[in-house]
Each structure stands twice: as structure tokens, then as C-alpha cells.
Structure 1
Amino acid sequence: MLDHSNLNYPPRDGWDRAPWNRWSFRHVREMVPTAEVWRGREAPSRFTREPRQLDAIRYRGENGEKSIGQFLDESFTDGFIVLHKGAIVLERYMNGMNERTLHLSQSVGKSLIGILVGIYQARGWIDIASPITRYLPELAATAYAGATVSQILDMQSGVAFDETYTDPFSDIAKIDVACQWRPRPNDGRDWPETCWDVVLSLKKRAFDHGAQFSYRSIETDVLAFALERIAGRRLPDIVSRDLWQPLGAEESANYTVDAAGYALADGGFNATLRDYARFGEMLTNDGLFNGRQIVPAEWVQACRVAEHDKFTGDYRIATPEGAYRRQFWLEDHRRPVLMCRGVFGQLIYSDPAYAFTAVKLSSWPDFRNNTLLKETLAALNALKRAVNV
């Protein structure tokens, strides 16, 4: 019999941070309300398997030479999978995770929204050259007035938004409260009730629309609200119908939701390791997966072409030649690698030049850690060279 008196669950405030995240990223449904992203009734798409002994592959990282096995052991890994030419060559579960475990993706989920916008544009439902107010007219009273959908996709709107994760009063902290990840403080402040309230509260600009890249999670939520308005559906239903079912997902996924039922597009998506790999392999194959052209090849290819000169500041620490486009990170603007990245070490890595896809799910102790990110990229670059020998 399970003795509940001995169970040490994370606190309601701080469950998503170290040390609790080693457990909570695999148990989000036990911490906050969620909505299902149904996988549908069709059989899941199948991977071929060509397992290879890759743990002994060595590479030079931030602290000298080490093996892939050491890297996985030392980098707070929960799940790791590598595909080469569509076949699984390495699959590893750690820290209590298994093939059916849903794991929080944090900002990896932003890239799902970028792909959905591409699907909707192909259907003629959205025009990314149009102002966002065409789809969300309420934003005419905010700093988003005059910004195009394309600028928001590239995180180049000029809207002021403080993304400081460790500041309890920053704009991203307001999102944490609005989306029910943190309890509402009883401090007399006017805390937002919902994520939509946060969007409507943004009245200031930090720079002109289109002038520069500045990473702000709220941009993804604005896009998701537009998709919901266009489709007349909630985001979990949109992702199910237009992405998860076409991919042939193995398991239903879920989103955390706010008090109004809005699914947190910027970081509340949870899925299995293999299903993240399905999404990544679709990117590697220019939008083609499970016998379907899920998003036009031209859209994925355009995601790989970005303005490096607008990618400035500490964004260049881990990826000095990097860039950002349509809700994706580029490892190097001169090469076709796309990355879906989330805090605490979530990563989907897609390199069509090597027919290589990898997913790493982690529970780092830090929101951002450039040393661990550079270590991860060094390991992945060594792996993709090794599997192509």
C-alpha cells in the first residue's frame, strides 16, 4: 500500500524550478490544470530502428574531452533520441522517464505555433504580411498596433516585455500567475486573471516594429490567440487536428491552461520523447512525414533563412553565428540547422544536410545555461558526424 504521508510533492509556488523540476517536468498534470491534445484514432506512424553503439563517441566540449555517455549522465538528461535517415539509432530514458511519459517542453512548443501559422497560410486563412490587428482588432489599443504577423513570428515586434525569469514582478512572472503556474500573490498588486489580460496590458514599445530581434514569450501567445480566432477552436483542438494527428503521434499530448481555458502556447506543451522526434523529423524532411506534406516545404525552408545582424547581445554567446526565424532558433545562419529550444534544457535539433534529428529533454537546475547549451551542441555535432560515417 502506498504511504501518502511520505510523498514529498513540490510546492505550489516553484514546482517548475530546481530541484523540483527533476520530478515535476514529468508530472505536470499533477501540478496544474491541463487540456488534452488528442492523438486521434489512426495507428501511430512507425519508426524503423537501426540501433548503434554511440555512447563511446568522444567529442571536445566546454570542459575538455568526454564521451556521449558521460554527456548524457552529466547534463540532467530525462530523455534522448537520435534519428538518422528516419531510423532511430539511439533512444535513452533516464531519471524515471519512459516511452509513454509526457515531458514539459517549455519554449520548444513555440515552434509548433510557427508551423501552424505556415499551415494556415497555405490554406489561405492567414496572411503573415498583414497587421496582427486584422485578426485581433483589440490589439489596436496596445503596443502591437502596426506590427505584422511576420514581425511577431520573428520576435521583431517592438513591444516592451520583460522576460526576466528570476524577477517575481517581470512580465513573464505575470504570465506565470495568469496561466496558473504560480498562485496569485496577495500583495495588493493588480495581477492578471488570464493570459489574454497580459496581452491587452502591453502598452509600451521598446523599439520600432521590425528593428531588431528580442526574445519575448508573449509573441507566441499573440500568434496562438490569432490562430484560435481564425479557426474558431481552442489551441489543443487545433494542434490535434492539424499537427498531432497528421504526424501519427503515439500518445495524446496536453497543454497547461489558464482560468479561461487558454492553452499556454509559449511553454505549456507536454508530449513524449518519440512524438517530439516525429515533429523534428518532419522538419528534417521539409514538412513531409507519415506520408503527408504536413506543412509546405517552402515554409520550412524559409525558416532556415534569417537575419543574423539582428541577432545581437547575449543570444550570440552559445551560437555566435545564430539567428531566429518564425519561432525557430538557427544554430548558424549559414547552415540549415533548425532548433526548437526551451528553458531548463529542452531541445529539438534538425539538420537536413546530415539527415539527422535529435531530441533532448532535460531538467537543468538553471533556466538558461550557455555552458550546458554549448556542450549539448558540441555533442550533437559529434554525433551527426559519427552516424554519417
Structure 2
Amino acid sequence: MTTAAPHSPRIPRADWDRPPHNRWAFHHIREILPTAEVWRGSGPVSALPRRPFRLDDVRFQAARGELTIRQFLDDSFTDGFIVLKDGAIVFERYMNGMTERSAHLSQSVAKSLTGALIGILSHRGALDPNGLVTDYLPELKATGYDGATLQQILDMSSGVAYDETYTDPFSDVGQTDVASGWKPKPAGDTRAWPRSIWQQILGLKQCNAEHGARFNYRSIETDVLAFVAERVTGQRLPQLISAEIWQKLGCEENSYYTVDAEGYALADGGFNATLRDYARFGLMIAQDGVIDGRQVVPAAWIAETRRGDPDQFDADYRATMPFGAYRNQFWLPDYRGRATNCLGVFGQWIHADPDTGIVIVKLSSWPDFLDDARFVEQEAACAAVKRALVHA
């Protein structure tokens, strides 16, 4: 006697990234979506020595009262949390079924990997950030990207119209979910939807601002950069990230990208890796592009990345980052300092501070795409961790 398969999958295809399903899905993406491997290579793993420091009981003031780091982690849908000081692991915690070998979805943390790759290719002379994107992708002359420079796309200051409303399945970013293979079309909708990310980019015909006039966060900008990198090298993104970044970081594990129907790896949010390997990326950024004596990303590119223009931010962004800026696909939490953030929806975060030698990575599965209160609390927890370690 055979047993029939269940009528519905364990994780609903249209809602895998929504609560409660995302608590499991974010570190089991290979069981949900097609992926392409980013090989770690055959070289040695870069060492992360251990110098344990008790951070659980460190206290800080949050809007909801005084909290400990333990309470913060327990209450903020944490999957993994690690802190490095001067290249050593001082605190590491896995929660919600995640393990040291679990590859976790990065969401928009992935954008910073692409920004770093563009820096590497620029240093080699393979592309010029001040050049027009149509110099590399002439097909975009028929789109809103005509006249935009690579630097403007790196800084998300092109004027191309793209609606990043995550909760609207019919928005541009909702169409990206479909084009990338992450989601099916909304039930019953009969309109033509882009069948790939490249097709969606070619369909972005309108601008709602002059190129370079202001910062406006749009995920598709990162994919434009990735197609430029693929065009000038003749290689696909997973191979480029493997050869140019992942192998040179000395990562412990292979990572992977989700891919669309044409095999394109989703640069804007489809990257997955382990907690420690994300920490290695953050450590390299904090150390001016160097890890284990290897220059992975040019130091000049890292220095330029730390020079964001705060005047590009409007009130919406200043609500959570009063002194924030954005440069080369990285967030600057305070343009007056040198720390950088890599940020992704649902609570993904890498903080790299060269002045304190502290790197913090938090992987999460928040119930909401964005949560200003959680973000502000995370920044307060970050400051408390840094104070505790600097003054230890």
C-alpha cells in the first residue's frame, strides 16, 4: 500500500519568506529554490582564533527599557550572532536550529559582495566607475539607465523608476521576486510578467529623477552591476565571487546563490553563506581589504566606500540613521566615522569597524521586512558590545 504525498508542501511556495515559514526557510534555501555554488576553493581556511568574552549580561538602554545582550538576541528572531575583536572570535551563538555549517540567506547583504567585486574589477582596469553603464551594456540605451554612470548605480542614485514596496506583490520588487524565481505570479493575474531579471531590467523605461540627484534604494541596481561584471569578464557571478572573493577570504564552506530561469545568480539578495564566513567578509572590510596577509579588495576602494554623501539621504532614511550615508553598495551608519554596514531585510547585518577592530554579524528571521524599532535597538546593542570590548 502506498501513501499519497501531502496535498500542500511543507513550506508554501508563495510565502516561504514570511512568518512563520522564514524561521526555517532562511537557512534551508537549497531545499526551496534552485541554486548555483560559490566554491570555497582548495586552499587553507583562514584562522579565526578564539578569545571568549562574556557578552550575554552586557546591558544597554533601549526604547522598551534596559536590556541585556542575551535578551536582545532572544527577542529579535536571531538565527546566528558572532562578534570578532582584532580578528578573533569573542562571542558566537547559534539559535533557531541554525548550526555552524548552515548557510543562511543574506538578503541585501549580498549587495555589498557585488560592490566589492566591482571595486576589484575597477582596480584592474576592466571597468571605469565613472563610465556610462551603456558603455558596458549597450542594450540599456533603450531603458531609463541611458545616461547613468556606474558610480551612480553603485550609490543607488540613478533616476530610474523602481518601486521597492516589499509588501505589494505587484510592485517592481514584487516583480523581481517572480523574475528571480523566488515566487510564483500572484494567483489569477493574467498580465505578462518578466521571466528573468535581465528581462525586467530591459523593461525599466522610466525615470522619476535626474541621474545622480538623490539616493533612492532600489534592489535592481545591484543586478545591473552584476551584469556589467559578467559582461566585462565573460564569467558568471558565482564563479567571479568564488575566484575573486570567497577563495581569497579562506572561507570554511562553499556558499551559493539562488538563480532565475536563465541561470542568472540573484546579486541583489540571493547569496547564502555560514555565519563565520560572513564574519570573514566583514573582517576583510574592516582591515582595509586584507585578510591573512592577502589583499582581497583594493584598499583605495574600501577607503572610497567609507566616504558617503549624507546630503543624498532624505527624511525617511534619516529617521533610523541620522548621520547615515550609502556608498558603493555599503551603508555608512555614521559618515563621520569609518564603520560600514551590510544590511538585508528581515534582520541581516554585518558591521565592520576598523577603528575598534570589531566585526559583528547577526543573521535573523524577523517577521517583517523592515522594522525601524528593531533596527534602532540593534544599533544600541552594537554600541554596547563595542563599549564592553574596547574598555575590557
TM-score (norm 1): 0.98
Query: 1:198 aligns to what?
Result: 200
Q: Does 1:387 align with 2:389?
A: yes
The CA deviation at 1:267 is 0.4
Q: Report matched runs for 1:98-137 at 5 Å.
A: 98-137=99-138
Matches of 1:293 and 1:62 in 2, distance apart?
41
Query: 2:304 aligns to what?
Result: 302
The CA deviation at 1:184 is 2.9
Matches of 1:5 and 1:70 in 2, distance apart?
38
8 Å Cα contact 1:37-1:239 kept in structure 2: yes
Matches of 1:7 and 1:163 in 2, distance apart?
30
Matches of 2:60 and 2:8 in 1, distance apart?
40
The CA deviation at 1:187 is 1.7
The CA deviation at 1:264 is 0.3
Relative to structure 2, which stretch is displaced further, 246-255 or 315-324?
A: 315-324
Q: Does 1:162 align with 2:144?
A: no
The CA deviation at 1:9 is 1.6
8 Å Cα contact 1:247-1:289 kept in structure 2: yes
* Structure 2 SS opposite 1:241: helix
Q: What does the per-residue CA deviation read over 1:168-219, in whole Å, with 9 as the maximum and x for residues that have no partner?
A: 1100011100111111345210101100011000000010000000000000
Query: 2:46 aligns to what?
Result: 45
Query: 1:248 aligns to what?
Result: 250
Of the candidates 368, 371, 380, which is equivalent to residue 369 of structure 1? 371
Matches of 1:35 and 1:62 in 2, distance apart?
42
Matches of 1:195 and 1:290 in 2, distance apart?
36
Identity of aligned residues (%): 57
Q: What does the per-residue CA deviation read over 1:292-329, in whole Å, with 9 as the maximum and x for residues that have no partner?
A: 01111111111111110111121111111111111011
Matches of 2:8 and 2:169 in 1, distance apart?
28
Matches of 2:174 and 2:185 in 1, distance apart?
11
Relative to structure 2, which stretch is displaced further, 37-46 or 362-371?
A: 37-46
**Which letter does structure 1 place at the counterpart of 2:347?**
G
Matches of 1:231 and 1:205 in 2, distance apart?
29
* Structure 2 SS opposite 1:180: coil
**Which letter does structure 1 place at the counterpart of 2:200?**
V
The CA deviation at 1:353 is 1.0
Q: Does 1:330 align with 2:329?
A: no
Matches of 1:4 and 1:54 in 2, distance apart?
47
The total of aligned residue pairs comes to: 387
Structure 2 residues not aligned, in runs of 5+: none
The CA deviation at 1:6 is 12
Q: Report matched runs for 1:3-22 at 5 Å.
A: 9-22=10-23
Query: 1:207 aligns to what?
Result: 209
8 Å Cα contact 1:276-1:348 kept in structure 2: yes
Matches of 2:208 and 2:221 in 1, distance apart?
14
* Structure 2 SS opposite 1:198: helix
Query: 1:237 aligns to what?
Result: 239
**Which letter does structure 2 place at the counterpart of 1:64?**
G
**Which consecutive aligned stretches of 4+ in structure 1 deviate over 4 angstroms post-superposition?**
3-8
Q: What does the per-residue CA deviation read over 1:266-315, in whole Å, with 9 as the maximum and x for residues that have no partner?
A: 00000000000000000110100122011111111111111101111211
TM-score (norm 2): 0.97
* Structure 2 SS opposite 1:48: coil
**Which letter does structure 2 place at the counterpart of 1:345?**
G
**Which letter does structure 2 place at the counterpart of 1:222?**
V
The CA deviation at 1:8 is 6.8
**Which letter does structure 2 place at the counterpart of 1:127?**
D
**Which letter does structure 1 place at the counterpart of 2:213?**
A
**Which letter does structure 1 place at the counterpart of 2:390?**
N
* Structure 1 SS opposite 2:218: coil
Matches of 1:8 and 1:168 in 2, distance apart?
21
Matches of 2:95 and 2:58 in 1, distance apart?
19
Structure 1 residues not aligned, in runs of 5+: none
Matches of 2:9 and 2:235 in 1, distance apart?
38
Matches of 1:27 and 1:289 in 2, distance apart?
29
Matches of 1:316 and 1:98 in 2, distance apart?
35
Matches of 1:135 and 1:277 in 2, distance apart?
32
Q: What does the per-residue CA deviation read over 1:336-387, in whole Å, with 9 as the maximum and x for residues that have no partner?
A: 1100000000000011111110000000000000100111110011101111
8 Å Cα contact 1:246-1:290 kept in structure 2: no
Relative to structure 2, which stretch is displaced further, 29-38 or 309-318?
A: 309-318
Of the candidates 273, 276, 280, which is equivalent to residue 274 of structure 1? 276
Query: 1:91 aligns to what?
Result: 92
**Which letter does structure 2 place at the counterpart of 1:78?**
D
Q: What does the per-residue CA deviation read over 1:62-114, in whole Å, with 9 as the maximum and x for residues that have no partner?
A: 21111001100001000000000111000000000010000000000000011
Gap change, CA 1:48 and 1:7, over 3 Å in 2:
farther
The CA deviation at 1:10 is 1.2
Matches of 1:137 and 1:371 in 2, distance apart?
43
* Structure 2 SS opposite 1:49: coil
Q: CA RMSD of the aligned region, Å?
A: 1.4
